[in-house]
């Protein structure tokens, strides 16, 4: 079985400051890793995903995440946040042999303050 732990339920940060949202996972098999973002009153959107290859993956809006197999982590970072990044962020995994069933973490609310 797989599980995902997001270590912070809320992360307050000032605009233009750097941020890291932490994600750890547990699995006995190889997995694919995802970050989804949910803006207020909307559904989830894919932010980025790690499948294989380079352990650093980037999104189009400046976020990046690094897969660390030894620490079973997939932390999300952004060097300078904007007010518009205020949202809830979900880390998720799926076993590489599965049909795409996602196991989500509890979510982290990023609150960007002016």
Partner 1 sequence: DAGITQSPRHKVTETGTPVTLRCHQTENHRYMYWYRQDPGHGLRLIHYSYGVKDTDKGEVSDGYSVSRSKTEDFLLTLESATSSQTSVYFCAISGGLAGPTDTQYFGPGTRLTVL
Binding site for partner 1 (CB under 8 A): 4, 6, 9, 32, 36, 42-46, 49, 51, 90, 94-107
Cα 23 to Cα 15, 96, 110, distances in angstroms = 22, 18, 14
- How far is it, in rounded angstroms, from Cα 98 to Cα 27? 13
Asked if 5 contacts 65 with a C-beta cutoff of 8 angstroms, the reply is: no
Nearer to partner 1 among residue 51 and residue 83 (C-beta): 51
Nearer to partner 1 among residue 85 and residue 90 (C-beta): 90
CB of 11 to partner 1, least distance (A): 16
CB of 31 to partner 1, least distance (A): 9
């Amino acid at each position: 079985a797989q599980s995902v732990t997001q270590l912070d339920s809320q992360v307050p940060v000032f605009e233009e400051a750097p941020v890291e949202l932490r994600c750890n996972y547990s699995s006995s098999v190889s997995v694919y890793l995802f970050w989804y973002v949910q803006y207020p009153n909307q559904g989830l959107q894919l932010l980025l995903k790690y499948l294989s290859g380079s352990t650093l993956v980037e999104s189009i809006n400046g976020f990046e995440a690094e897969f660390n197999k030894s620490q079973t982590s997939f932390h999300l970072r952004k060097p300078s946040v904007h007010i518009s990044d205020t949202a809830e962020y979900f880390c998720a995994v799926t076993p590489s042999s599965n049909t795409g069933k996602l196991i989500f973490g509890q979510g982290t609310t990023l609150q960007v303050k002016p």
